[in-house]
Structure 1
Amino acid sequence: MFQCHARIPRDRGVVVKAQGVGERRIAACAPKSFKIITGSICAPLGFKAAAVFCGIKRRKLDLALIASDVRAAVAGLFTTNQVCAAPVRLSAQRVLKRFAQAIVANSGNANACTGPQGIRDAKRMAEAAASALNLKASHVLVCSTGRIGVPMPMENVQRGIRACAPLLARSATNARQAAEAVMTTDTRRKEIAVEFEIGKAMVRIGGICKGAGMIQPWMATMLAFITTDIAIEPNLLKRALRIAVAQSFNRITVDGNMSTNDSVIMLANGLARNSKFEIRDSQFQDALNFVCLELAKMIVRDGEGVSRFVTVNIHGARSAGEAEAAARTIANSALVKTSWCGGDPNWGRILCALGYSKAKVNESCVDVGYAKPGSREILFAFRRGRPTDVDLKTLGKISAAREFDLHVNLHLGPANFTIYASDLTEDYVAFNRRYESDPASTRRLRWKN
């Protein structure tokens, strides 16, 4: 990440050019090293998807199947919440193995806090999908999202799985429908795919995800499914996914709440026929990082009631842990988030949050600046312990935009951290105050301009 080395008087709020681009390097260089394509999870060879309405929700698609033509190396990461859903418990055990071949996912019911029956129902979902697809039940992973504490309507689910299996196809339409079927409070589907070469082989990575509320690392209320036709050893796939998730899904927050159902699952079926020996020197890790980060950003932008997307950059902390602590404290401060909602560049609230974070802070060393998204032009409101004479109208134009970057430099060490955050709006409160007691009344409220 970049360090700001401006040599200017402390009491002036001026524009400063940064010396680097930091963690946005991957997204910025992505089009040069690989190509964004259509098809998301169906873009890689040998992957098919389908979705149906089975009656878990009232009208919309609510069940999806994703399957590979051949067995695939598997990797997965799941919520660290001690109260985790039955599908998480089941799938977390199964991804410890080397291979899997299919995923069955539903929305509208989280199958969380449902006791022993929830575990039995998750297993029955896997068994039903395995029977419909002629696979081993142990090669089927299960994910659920929706309301907590409600028994799964298994008759509807099993009927839906049987109806969904014959519809499996490798098409962009089927991929879109699968993305829609796992949506809950999302207002839009979230999908992406890229392709690149490893030696003479063309390799593709595709992904879909859902998530809008209960968004806080580690991984937020989100389901993400990533497919690739790369030929890779399972242990290397697991390592690659850990690296990608660490800088994407684990760096987002909307409301600071950790879910019971977070799941990121990746399947790699090897049909690209690439040389495994060439992976290390290829674009694979960069491409996977890009896919995960773009999906993660889509979640924040579609957060419940969200009107601002803010990239919070901490520079100059003593250690990586302190940089992360400072970033998360700012990004989850209710006072900071509500000031973002109002388009108010209230640096005082940012300094307050810094002060009670677990990071070491010396007020006389701190810089606080604002910039347009991805810009290296930073306008500082506070430098080395004192307010600047920055033009407030100019500063306000940046912070009132739908997206902007916040830069905080502690000037105490070499460590940096970036987190992607949102504001906190009246719409978020209005939506969540009656979600459980009257879900029919909780229509989604979209971004405000």
Structure 2
Amino acid sequence: MAVGPASFPDMPVIEGLRLGTARAGIKTAGRRDLVVIEVPQGATVAGTFTRNAFCAAPVSVAREHLASCRMRGEAPRYLVVNTGNANAGTGDIGLRDARDTCAELAHLAGVAANQVLPFSTGVIGETLPMERLLAGLPEALRGLDEGAEGWAAAGEGILTTDTRPKGASVTVRLGDETVTINGISKGSGMIKPNMATMLGFVATDAAIAPSLLDELLRETVARSFNCITVDGDTSTNDACMLIATGRGARVDDEHRLAVFRDALQGLMIELAQAIVRDGEGATKFVSLQVDGAVTREEALDVAFTVAHSPLVKTALAASDANWGRILAAVGRAPVEDFDVSRVTIDLGEVRLVEHGGCAAGYTEEAGSAVMAREEIAIRIALGRGERSATVWTTDLTREYVAINADYRS
């Protein structure tokens, strides 16, 4: 179940970057579940990772290897992703398995082991089926492809409970040159912003210095993947990687940086919203905009309080215009000196709340008509300042419960 039409774009070639997949049978026989991404020499790579204290073994190893490459002035050469098993909550065995995966791929590809970054997604608390995983690596390497087919196969190969692959691409002009940005993401459940909340792999042919690449990734993740939530659960395995191959135009002045940043931000938002649209059991895509806050953090606090309310989310699922649930959630947000008489709440074009209560002229019929839509906008104006933030979320349905009750079976 998902909101909106399924679409995966034809990805332009990013010279030097290749993607390959394999059917390793890690959890389910016959499906793509192992992805290898080859990064060309001379590229720069940035990454953000989950802040969950029980971070998965591949997260620890990927951080370690990325830092090691940076210290030597190098970049990782390969990324390897498996689905069906998160390799999280697996202790020393999990760390050994993540390192052994890197070592085997490095041996096959002729690079150093710390030039390989591992990523995993799937069931927590189970050890990797290493014999099957390692046996799949040669197939993934043989299938390396820099064209659209490689991107499409990789988009499929990183999925877990997702119902469809998620990809985005944009090409922009930088002076007399053009640069391309391609990206894929996965995520459907266990989605709550706290760095990245999923797996995302984004690449560009632009030439960007490592420190600037880090800055661009942090900025764009903060206003995309960190602004989505399906169920309020932060995964143990979240990661978002940004690769700049350096084969195209340089991002080396303020104008080029501004153009590139805007393009990257738009692509990141598109990938993040695709996760929400494919949220487990979702039938509604909901935009929660909070204006008039003292700080952006305050606006986010209010938006997430509403987005995480089970009562609000189940009302959305039922298309029930029970606006009192939204009002109650706003009122319990962690905001000091809250003057509720200044707050307004709009559901689409319908004013729900003003002056501390139900808006004059509101009708249940008008509210219900908006709640019946697949895409719903809720706007909350606090009347306290000039900062704003937008969060994207889903409803909460019986199907979500069924998916997660049956996940390990």
What percentage of aligned pairs have identical amino acids? Answer: 39
- Give the Å deviation of 1:410: 1.1
Change (3 A) 1:277 1:133: farther
After alignment, is 273-282 or 50-59 more displaced? 273-282
- Give the Å deviation of 1:281: 4.5
Match of 1:156 among 132, 143, 150: 132
Structure 1: state its 5+ residue gaps: 1-35, 372-377, 439-449
How far apart in 2 are the matches of 1:83 and 1:400? 39
Q: For residue 415 of structure 1, what is the aligned residue in structure 2?
A: 387
Instruction: Judge conservation of contact 1:345–1:399 (CA < 8 Å) in 2.
Output: yes
- Give the Å deviation of 1:126: 1.3
Q: For residue 381 of structure 1, what is the aligned residue in structure 2?
A: 352
Structure 2: state its 5+ residue gaps: 1-6
Q: For residue 57 of structure 1, what is the aligned residue in structure 2?
A: 27
How far apart in 2 are the matches of 1:281 and 1:236? 9
Q: For residue 364 of structure 1, what is the aligned residue in structure 2?
A: 341
Match of 1:94 among 65, 76, 88: 65
TM normalised by structure 2 equals 0.93
Matches within 5 A, 1:22-421: 38-40=9-11, 43-59=13-29, 60-96=31-67, 97=70, 99-219=75-195, 221-274=197-250, 276-277=252-253, 280-360=256-336, 361-371=338-348, 378-388=349-359, 389-421=361-393
Instruction: Judge conservation of contact 2:169–2:182 (CA < 8 Å) in 1.
Output: yes
How far apart in 2 are the matches of 1:216 and 1:293? 15
Q: Is the partner of 1:240 in helix, strand or coil?
A: helix
How far apart in 2 are the matches of 1:195 and 1:215? 29
Number of residue equivalences: 395
Change (3 A) 1:347 1:258: same
Instruction: Judge conservation of contact 1:199–1:278 (CA < 8 Å) in 2.
Output: no
After alignment, is 96-105 or 108-117 more displaced? 96-105
Instruction: Judge conservation of contact 1:213–1:304 (CA < 8 Å) in 2.
Output: yes
CA deviations 1:245-273 (Å, max 9, x no partner) are 00000000000011100000111110014
TM normalised by structure 1 equals 0.85
CA deviations 1:145-195 (Å, max 9, x no partner) are 011111111111111011210110112112111111110000000011111
How far apart in 1 are the matches of 2:180 and 2:41? 16
How far apart in 1 are the matches of 2:258 and 2:192? 32
**RMSD between superposed Cα atoms in Å:** 1.8
How far apart in 1 are the matches of 2:257 and 2:276? 32
Q: For residue 424 of structure 1, what is the aligned residue in structure 2?
A: 396
Q: Give the residue type in structure 1 aligned to 2:183.
A: G
Change (3 A) 1:230 1:37: farther
- Give the Å deviation of 1:275: 5.8
How far apart in 2 are the matches of 1:180 and 1:434? 22
